Structure 1
Amino acid sequence: MKGLNVVWLSETDLTNLNAGEGESNYIDVKKYKKDCIEYPYVSGQAMRFYLKEAMRRGLEDTEYMCIPNDKGETCGDIKKCIMCDLFGFMTTIKGKGAVTRVSPVKVSPAIGLLPFDDNANIDFLTRRHRVSEGAKMEGDIVNVEIGTNIYKGGVSIDMVRVSSDEKIDEEKRAISIETVVDIPEKKNRVKKTLEALRYLTDYSKQARLLTDFSPDIIAISLQNKYSHRLQKLLALRYFVWVTQYPHYPLEQIT
């Protein structure tokens, strides 16, 4: 097996999973535009973070995932560290200089499939400031975009490069793949990646906008050739009404 692909749909409650740039008192939702209509999305960087944190929560006592230093560099030890093995790194290793590992686990942005304006609202919050005793309590009004939606997400795993390292033969001008851990441990790391999808929890704004972002419908493929083909499997059909979008025909859209 050379590739493992996962694609899923997840329906969320009213929330803001990944804020955009916004302003000091306006917290928006990241959006993309298709056919002049805006849809929400969760960035690939955020999805990677959510997946890594879900894996970290499920670590056994004997398993290890490093924490990046103040420069954002990780340990780079793919034999010991599950995170560096599966998610790659750019770091400096003593005696080797700058080292880069391409992530065997690829993660797509989670894209909303329902128009944002039809499924969103603006929540008004107040940021309270701590004040000394006897002083007047003050606060800033904050506007937060929130919405419900159905998101499509995906993960692709390059099975050949999980727990393996590239070795360059300068004389033959060739690259070979060398496994650095035993096969049972390699399988365990892939299993932990899949299990983590069931327990995605560390997305933003959950203190006051709690929701479940774990997959509701999921498909997995095991492939003897590595590709991302499965990522096009799922689509959502919905109606765009003439009264709401008069420049669109009343028909079913994929």
Structure 2
Amino acid sequence: MNLKTQGFILIDVDAAALNNSGKSTSNDYENGVDTKKMFKDGRAYPYVSGQAWRYWWRETLQKNHGWELSPVTRDNKIAFTAADPVKYADDDVFGYMKAAKDAKLDEEGKPVLDKKGKAVLENVTVTRVSPLKNSVIIAAAPVKTSQNWSSMSRQEGDAVPYVKEEYSAIMKGMFSLDLEQLGTFSNYNKTGFKNLTDDIKESALASGATEIDDPYVKDSKGRPQKLVRLHRDVRLKRIQDTIKALKTISGGAMQTDNMADVTPKLIILATTNTGNHPFFHVASNHNNSFNFDTENIRQVLADYKENILGTVFIGRRSGFLDDQGSSLKDLESLDQNYPPVKVLSVNEAIDQYCIQLQSQIS
């Protein structure tokens, strides 16, 4: 069964400039900077790119969860990581593409030479689609941004003025973590399916990984292709670390004087047996204002009852959406036509969901 963690978050920021887009095109100031924003029906929605969110996430896993990040190699205009998801958890979770050729080695580990004495090269191109997929983090309702004059000033000389664009907004984002794909790798020679080099595959099997049948792909004789799967404890820790990192995630531009808390103020976590993400529209724009209605959550729970496995955990930070606190808590009393729901603080919801995963990861 292809299980996925489906997550939805709301963050709440004031006077923020989380992700800038470069020199301003909306004014004539020489030192002006615009924030990233999209337009819908002529109105502005500031957003954080999905790439920026992933950068914050990866950095948090390194700093707060002790992950050793995969080293990056730069070659002219291209760059790639070690592409070793067995050793580096971030290669496993965030995916990679490495198009390269290395020297072919003989049984003694020495380079194989051609007739001219040059090393024979072999293709070691590997790719991995990220098990962690995420949206942008975007304002849930249109926002009017403000331009703030600042200056670089010291004791001597003239001040150098500059302009930056700021906003206050409730912003939403979603992510999906493939629980079956994480820690599981294919090695057969097919575009997009070769996750591991032969050397890394052998190293993984020697370190306790096992081979399992791929339920979806067969070879030319109709036999299931083989997948390499890491030990359950390793996979579970990587999954739990990835989700728990949201408790302390930090990042964003202009942090020195526009520091913003980007941890979730509301989070929904559920395990599903489908790739469809059900929760993104539980917060929406209504008459150009932020709208959050627990009736939207109730409808999603009813519609996806057959696809949701276990309990749905909803976390809310005290002081955020306090007017919805009692109606959220009422979701715990829904009848058997809905999946069970627990409403807790944000950190408690994350922790208890991670405990539930212990019985869902095979």
TM-score of the pair, normalised by structure 1: 0.82
Change (3 A) 1:159 1:147: same
Q: Which position in structure 2 is the counterpart of 1:115?
A: 142
Q: Is it true that 1:105 corresponds to 2:113 in the alignment?
A: no
Q: Which position in structure 2 is the counterpart of 1:86?
A: 93
Secondary structure, counterpart of 1:229 in structure 2: coil
Superposed CA deviations along residues 192-218 of structure 1, whole A, max 9, x for unmatched, are: 111111112122211111110111111
Change (3 A) 1:221 1:15: same
Q: Is it true that 1:47 corresponds to 2:53 in the alignment?
A: yes
CA distance in 1, matches of 2:123, 2:168: 48
Change (3 A) 1:27 1:187: same
Q: Which position in structure 2 is the counterpart of 1:202?
A: 251
1:177: how far off?
5.7
Secondary structure, counterpart of 1:189 in structure 2: helix
Q: Which position in structure 2 is the counterpart of 1:146?
A: 166
Q: Which position in structure 2 is the counterpart of 1:223?
A: 272
Q: Which position in structure 1 is the counterpart of 2:283?
A: 235
Q: Which position in structure 2 is the counterpart of 1:163?
A: 183
Which of the two has greater helix per residue?
A: 2
Unmatched segments (≥5 aa) in structure 2: 25-29, 103-121, 189-217, 294-362
Question: Is 2:65–2:245's contact at 8 Å kept on the other side of the alignment?
Answer: no
TM-score of the pair, normalised by structure 2: 0.59
| Poorly superposed stretches of 4+, deviation over 4 Å | none
Percent of aligned pairs with the same amino acid: 23
Q: Which amino acid aligns with 1:104?
A: P
Question: Is 2:45–2:141's contact at 8 Å kept on the other side of the alignment?
Answer: yes
Superposed CA deviations along residues 72-131 of structure 1, whole A, max 9, x for unmatched, are: 3111111110110000011146354221111110011001123221xx32111223599x
User: Which is bigger in relative contact order (C-alpha 8 A, separation at least 6)?
Assistant: 1
Change (3 A) 1:121 1:173: farther
Question: Is 2:141–2:288's contact at 8 Å kept on the other side of the alignment?
Answer: no
Unmatched segments (≥5 aa) in structure 1: 131-135, 242-251
Q: What RMSD over aligned residues (CA atoms) do the two structures have, in Å?
A: 2.6
Q: Which position in structure 1 is the counterpart of 2:151?
A: 126
Q: Which amino acid aligns with 1:166?
A: S
CA distance in 1, matches of 2:153, 2:132: 41
Q: Is it true that 1:190 corresponds to 2:215 in the alignment?
A: no
The count of aligned residue pairs is 234
Change (3 A) 1:235 1:127: same
Superposed CA deviations along residues 168-193 of structure 1, whole A, max 9, x for unmatched, are: 36533776462432001101101111
**Range with bigger deviation, 230-239 or 86-95:** 230-239
Q: Which amino acid aligns with 1:149?
A: A
Q: Is it true that 1:67 corresponds to 2:71 in the alignment?
A: yes
Question: Is 1:164–1:177's contact at 8 Å kept on the other side of the alignment?
Answer: no
Secondary structure, counterpart of 1:21 in structure 2: strand
